Structure 1
């Protein structure tokens, strides 16, 4: 359409220009007649010309072409005018010099025919090629939109449970970012739905036991109340079971809270030694009750990470060491700083974990049966999850103190800060 409009506009402009050229040609012919000695002949002359002309001197016709009338063509004093004679429409030019008047006329139909012939010769190729251009554009656009149509078809066919990646065959450079963004979004949605299902499964699996225990405890207290025999043991048992349920709920929420999406936004530069000192301080009362000793060997280490999740990580490790190493044991915490990594080691002098169970303790809800103490089975799963969020690795082995040794290696992304 744009090409056709441009051609039409060009046709109009060219027609006006050619009309001006024909006018100039008439003017030139009139000047030639005015200065030609033929006008003195005083006779009709047949010329090989497309013009009709008349030459007057003192209003007396001296000379005319055979296609011109005997009467004066126009009374126009001078210049161009459109006039009719001999039952046709003419374009007329009048030139006056002294007592001589030259009138030159050209058929309008002849001018239009000549103009259209010239213009059509120039414009018709453009007009002919417009449909070809249209077809080429149609097929080019259709081919270019084929991947987009294929992508749209895939998206329409997806149901609420289908979060598999989309793929566009013969990817264009423009659609590749769209495909990658959509697949990333679908992946995040799938992980989000998976976390929701896992949270429901975790809650249903892990809360079943403490809820049953609480029911039994409530039943026992109800019977004791009827017998007027509620003892401190009943209250102590109720508190312990309530605390256990609260701990399980806290662990499940923590495990599902630390997601990759919100993790990167919460990172900041912290001092690992200060985090370890704070966690030890929070658990020191438990250490004293178990008659244990705990030590920390570390210097200030600026580290770029998530303070909240690291506190959860070290709190789980230290609580496990306090809980499972037994009374009158030793707990040692140390750090080793390399060129691009920092290693945090937590070990104890307890009974440790057998070699067969070392790879299983990271499974959700797995409990080591060799320990008298019981837990939710989520602690080390949370620890491993947080370590992986920081891009690190965790390893379990036997400690030189005799118990369990937990080694956590984190990539050292510290910023230039002074941690004191």
Structure 2
């Protein structure tokens, strides 16, 4: 199980992150390349400017003097180390991180800046090179002025370039890192609204009763319209199938009533004829007649259950009213007086307690549950009926001392045609299914719980009575 909303948000987020990362990497690479080109060009330009504005104006006397006493270009240390720090027109950033040297063709120093001192920067090879001076890495450009036979060397510390690249990189990544959380928030909000119709459809289906097979009719996006159409088609097929099954069950039950009545009539006739026969004939024939009668009774009970099931399935509205529980339980006990005499009873029903329900169907449910309690309990065992009520619900519980049910049997008990003991001759496995359907129509719940050391507690949970 996975969330489409979260998956879509994750895919969009990954896409944004990959796009930003890829573009930032490309921007960083291009920035580093451009920075290198810019500063290299700057060193070339500086060398050519030194040649044009300084070297070309050197006289033979000045050159001889420089050979004797090299000229020092002093750069005051401004203590400015980064681009972020302020500079002024007199003291500029990075001035002490730049250097130059002028050397004769024989390698004698003519002029230099004190950024690198008198330490020779060039290998007397024209072009770019890298030197390490006092643990600092310097980029060096060497240019030989042929007309004047002078080497012009310009140099620049590596950290100048690295800091500029770092600033570019930080600016490249800062905006995406700030924008990404905002984008994530908007994506979550966007996907929430995009998937809102799906949630509405989910809630609509979840709140439907099991009997509601009417078409789904509310506005959905185009992408979900086909799903709604397919669901409606599916609901229609289920509805038609259930109608056919109910009609078949009802028709079959009605058709069986007449032949069963005829079989019962002939069985009674045979019993009357048998009474005039000899004891030997009666002893031989009577078990067969009793078996026929028992079979007819069992099938007749099943037919009655099928007819009742068809009737309950066809219920569209209950005739709910406020009814006293004491009267409801007394009516059920009076209907079962022929079977309850063999058991001990403990009945606790608070006086004047009411429930909002259809009394006919609630009596039907209670009758079925009490019959089952008697059917599966030992003779003379105690059966307890208790009624409790709180602010939200009313619970009617029937507790017996029978053999009880396993967890698996409890999970299957409300299925149609399920019987705990398949070999037993009584019951068609429809009673609890009918009870469950009636209770669900009341928006209640039918629960089963084991009782130690043996027994079963069956509870009808109904909404609080509307007073």
TM tier, shorter chain?
A: 0.3 to 0.5
Q: Structure 2 length normalisation: TM-score?
A: 0.43
Give TM-score scaled by structure 1 length. 0.47
